[in-house]
Amino acid sequence: MRFASMKFRTCVFPSIIALIAIFMTLGVQAQETRYSAYHDYRTVTVAEGLVRPWSLAFLPGGEILVTEKPGRLRIIRDGVLVEQPVSGLPEIFAEGQGGLLDVVPHPEYASNGLIYLSYSKPLENDESTTAVVRGRLEGDRLTGLEQVFEAQTRGRGHYGCRLAFDGQGHLFITIGDRQASPSGDLESHPAQDLANHHGVVVRLNEDGSVPDDNPFVGQEGALPEIWSYGHRNAQGMVIDRENGHVWITEHGPQGGDELDLIEPGANYGWPVIGYGVNYRSGSAIHQATHRDGMVQPEKIWVPSIGVSGLALYNGDAFPHWRGHLLAGGLSGQRITLLELDGREVVREETLVQGIGRVRDVRVGPDGFIYIAIDGRDGNETPIVRLEPVERRELAQ
């Protein structure tokens, strides 16, 4: 037994050394191993030195784009964060909750080179709103910039700003309620008014024009871009292209974060119905938790986890997670794995709890799960990824 043990070590040590060398070559750093019901995994640092990363996206050539909330678009190239940010961005209102937010390549990026960015756009009188632009990345500069959408909103925060393509020629955008207050009863809240973009999901053609089959096209007093309304602040969105399901996660107030399945023309109730309460005081906000004509969430989190980025796992690295949602949590400092049966959440599991404020979660082309960690204090934070660990590897 003693001789066998020595032989085992002789075989394994070179493998470990080789593995470390590979990590160093790729610019990643292995961290601790964690365990789940179906897959064991390790967290690996992909790149460091980012300030408040908000979103990340993958390009066909292997580069990773990362938005930094203070107003910078960064590139991770060959495992290294490029020192200089991408130039050519629009003027950005980088105050409070505002900044450079989502980044998504066009589904046909390989042929057209288009990148879409959402951000808080400065307006007169120190106001701001949610806007979306697109352009082409030439070298490390964004060129041919054109505005695709500008929301008719005003307010302090709650920009929303998640972007997603459905693969059918449409771009979906989440717009927050901008922390607006009702002028009278809760039904008068701007998120219940179709004449503005407060608290809505928008659906556009990829060039920014309005599809003819949007639910409020031709309705007097309603903006035709609106796909659904009655939202608070959706900062996670993903579209399942196999069945067309549009999933969002939206922040509740104190308690009451939601996972919603979005239907055209539907009213999701904010602030008339919900499950949260006022911050600090804990006093009631909503009239009820249910009302006819207002859609219930598929899941709520009480207490809140501070829902943010949302992904649908469709890779090969974690086969038992295919078709599951991955919901990031800011205050919860976690990812929640949600198993679906149609539109019903049938099981959930917490992954990487305590990792830091998860602002975005994406599935890479390699099937690994990439996470943007947001350091609220402005300290530099990394992009990390989850990689599978085989149980036989753990046994060694």
Known catalytic residues are: 158
CA distance 329 to 158: 16
Q: Is the distance from CB of 246 to CB of 272 less than 8 angstroms?
A: no
Taking the C-alpha atoms of residue 167 and residue 104, their distance in angstroms, rounded to an integer, is: 13
In DSSP notation, 46-85 reads EEEEEESEEEEEE-TTS-EEEEETTTEEEEEETTEE-SSP
Cis check: omega of the bond before 14, within 30 degrees of 0? no
Cα–Cα distance between 71 and 69 in angstroms, integer? 5
The alpha carbon of residue 152 and the mean position of all alpha carbons in its chain are separated, in whole angstroms, by 22
Determine contact, residues 174/234, Cβ cutoff 8 Å: yes
Extract long-range pairs of 271-278: CB within 8 Å, 24+ residues apart: 271/182, 271/186, 271/189, 271/191, 271/232, 272/186, 272/187, 272/189, 272/192, 272/230, 274/232, 275/300, 275/302, 276/252, 276/302, 276/304, 277/253, 278/253, 278/254
